[in-house]
Amino acid sequence: MTSVNAQIYTPNAIIQGTAPNNNVGIGTSTPNVKLSVFLPSGIGNVINWGNVGGGSYGGIGFDSNGSYLTNFSGNNALYVKGADGNIGIGTSTPNVKLSVFLPSGIGNVINWGNVGGGSYGGIGFDSNGSYLTNFSGNNALYVKGADGNIGIGTTNPTSKLTVAGNINSREIKVTVDAGADFVFENDYSLRSLDSVDKFIKENKHLPEIASADEMKKEGINLSEMNIKLLQKIEELTLYVIEQNKHMKELKSENQNFKSILERLSKIEEKLK
């Protein structure tokens, strides 16, 4: 096969068939890559494609800010901003490395899944925030726009992290403002065991610990509850220390009684 050079002249440009470097140029006689396409002037689409009827088409072009892939409605489906290389899908003014916009309304902006369509995931937004959704349509991860709260399994997170379900973890670190060492201060008023006994009989729970009904209704603050439980353990330690002192005193008294009994026994023997 013999290769030949060919040029096709049009009223406003040329097609350079085979340049010395085997590159092809449309609108230029000096193509520097395998296919170079140039407009005679200005900006706009450089390549269009579509059907014969003209009802649908697409194109590749550029404007003063960057390059784009457009659809038949004239919207820029994919836009690459020249100044910073940012990519826009659905927008011609991407301000980060990848900006994705819906034409209007709310919903998923990115979907992924398998060819059969049985399973998929997506990223989108609604009037209140952004979400990561699963194929069943449930929002697996939700970020509330107003306050930045994050919800897992819920679209209405009421705290910085709200989880509607169980959490499995090897370790959880809770930052607290204070511990319960105030129990060991000299001015701490430790309840008597009789007072604790009376409170339990009347209320069916420990002093300063929420009742079971209150826990069911309000939930449990782990940080506060751990401090309260530590407080009760430290109080229990004080009770044990106090009881140990009493036991030592009783042991000493018993030893004295034993010594007295032994002396009385000796006196009794002498009196016989």
Distance CA 78, CA 192 (A): 76
**Which of 167, 189, 221 marks a domain boundary?**
167
DSSP string spanning 117-146? -SSEEEEEE-SSEEEEE-TTS-EEEEEETT
Asked if 233 and 266 sit in the same domain, the reply is yes
pLDDT of residue 125: 87
pLDDT of residue 4: 41
Q: What is the pLDDT of residues 147-198, one digit of tens each?
A: 889 999 888 898 999 998 899 999 988 887 788 999 999 999 999 999 999 9
**Residue 106: how many CA atoms within 13 Å on its side-chain side?**
7
Residue 260 domain flag: yes
Asked if 193 and 264 sit in the same domain, the reply is yes
pLDDT of residue 3: 43
pLDDT of residue 139: 67
Residue 29 domain flag: no
Asked if 162 and 229 sit in the same domain, the reply is no
Handedness of CA 177, 183, 189, 192 (dihedral sign): positive
Residue 221 domain flag: yes
Domain of 188? 181-271
Q: Return the percentage of the chain with pLDDT > 70, whole number.
A: 87
pLDDT of residue 9: 47
Residue 173 domain flag: no
Measured distance between the N- and C-terminal CA atoms of the chain, rounded to whole angstroms: 146
**Which of 125, 145, 167 marks a domain boundary?**
167
Q: What is the pLDDT of residues 107-161, one digit of tens each?
A: 888 888 877 766 778 888 888 888 888 766 666 788 888 888 999 988 889 899 9
Number of domains in the chain: 2
Reported as type and span, the H/E element at residue 252 is helix 222-271
**Mean per-residue pLDDT over the chain, rounded:** 83
Residue 144 domain flag: yes
Beta-carbon neighbour count of residue 39 at 10 Å? Answer: 16
Distance CA 42, CA 134 (A): 46
Quick check: helix, strand or coil at residue 194? helix
Q: How would you class 121 by CB atoms within 10 Å of its CB: exposed for 0-12, middle for 13-18, buried for 19 or more?
A: middle
pLDDT of residue 195: 95
Residue 125 domain flag: yes
- Split at pLDDT 50, 70, 90, the class of 245 is very high
Asked if 262 and 205 sit in the same domain, the reply is yes
Residue 71 domain flag: no
- Split at pLDDT 50, 70, 90, the class of 91 is confident
Residue 52 domain flag: no
- Mean pLDDT of all residues in 228-243: 95
**Which of 137, 167, 197 marks a domain boundary?**
167
Q: What is the pLDDT of residues 19-41, one digit of tens each?
A: 567 888 888 888 888 888 888 88
Residue 269 to residues 257, 261, 266, Cα–Cα distance (Å): 18, 12, 5
Asked if 153 and 202 sit in the same domain, the reply is no
